[in-house]
Amino acid sequence: MQTGHKLQETIESKKGWNVWWRMLRPHTLTASFIPVFAGTMLASFDQTIHVGLFIAMLLASILIQAATNMFNEYYDYVRGLDHEESVGIGGTIVRDGIRPKTVLTLAMVFFLVATFIGIYICMMTSWWIAVIGAVSMACGYLYTGGPYPIAYTPFGELVSGFFMGTIIIGISYYIQTLSVDGPILMITIPFAIFIGAIMLSNNIRDLDGDRENGRKTLAILVGKKRAIRVLAGFFLSAYLLTILYILSGILPWWTLMTLLSGKKAIKAVKGFIGRTKPIDMLPAMKSTAQTNTMYGLLFGLSLILQHMLPV
């Protein structure tokens, strides 16, 4: 049993801004920053960077992802998937007593603010961005909302990787240069794979609970052991593509430094092997997310170095 002092500390830790901060799942938001950063760094080779557009794109992406996280929290609660002992959730509804309607409303507000930011981006660039942005926001909602949530299907990794990887990088590049070509789209593929890996790691952790609740995720369809192999395949394919792009001249030799993030990828795969409890898989999930973050930061650094010391 907790002592009165420890219990009071627990209660206090759930008060105030901390509750709202955890609702955003801040540890996941690097998945929004990295693609915007990468796309902008790629654009810096062709155009002087418009800082205002960079900041606007970054804020819009973070708001949309945070809203998607809140939709996830709300709909998983409504469908009875989340409870007080659930691992890997914000927990503001089931643990902190925040009303579900409040979470849903805040998600809508975030979408609304992102929309206004998107209007600014469109005014500065092209109104085609509005179409792509609207589709992206719809997918963010439908990922866990609607009658047939994408997250409950085998296509969660593909959809999240495409929109949070390829689309975000492509838009970030386009709003700076007003063009997108084949090589740029090719470069987005490893990022899309890493984002998909994050989703897959989440589904591996939640496999048993998801199966009980009728989900049909990729991890459930192939089984845990094969899902871990698929995760390893994701990582391997992303790094092989990076090397291929370097050898073909699409990326500079400096980009070889992104391979340093492979240590985290290996740690992620090993961290899932032999683990059966969701809480024991959290370090592996963390390593998966860190792989994406490290790869993206090293990728951006490699482009900066190419500017300064062309190879």
CA distance 287 to 276: 17
The amino acid occupying position 222 is V
What is the predicted pLDDT for the residue at 201? 96
The conformational region for residue 91 under phi > 0 = left, psi -120 to 50 = alpha, else beta, is left
| Whether the model pTM is above 0.85 | yes
Residue range 55-72: mean pLDDT, rounded: 94
Q: Are 302 and 258 in contact (CB under 8 A)?
A: yes
- Structural contact between residues 197 and 288, judged by C-beta atoms closer than 8 angstroms: yes
- Give dist(CA 117, CA 59) in Å, integer: 8
Give pLDDT, residue 7.
Answer: 35
Q: Look at residue 2 in the predicted model and tell me its pLDDT.
A: 46
* Most confident range, picked from 18-27, 138-147, 265-274: 265-274
Band of pLDDT at residue 1, cut at 50, 70 and 90: very low
pLDDT at 86: 58
The class that CATH gives domain 193-295 is: mainly alpha
Domain boundaries, the chain: 21-180, 193-295
Please state the CATH superfamily assignment of the domain spanning residues 21-180 in this structure: UbiA prenyltransferase (1.10.357.140)
pLDDT tens profile 93-138? 877 778 889 889 999 999 999 999 999 999 999 999 999 999 999 9
The model's pLDDT over 36-53, given as tens digits with 9 standing for 90+, comes to 999 999 999 888 999 999
Please state, in angstroms and rounded to a whole number, the distance separating the CA atoms of residues 135 and 118: 13
Predicted local confidence at residue 213, as pLDDT = 82
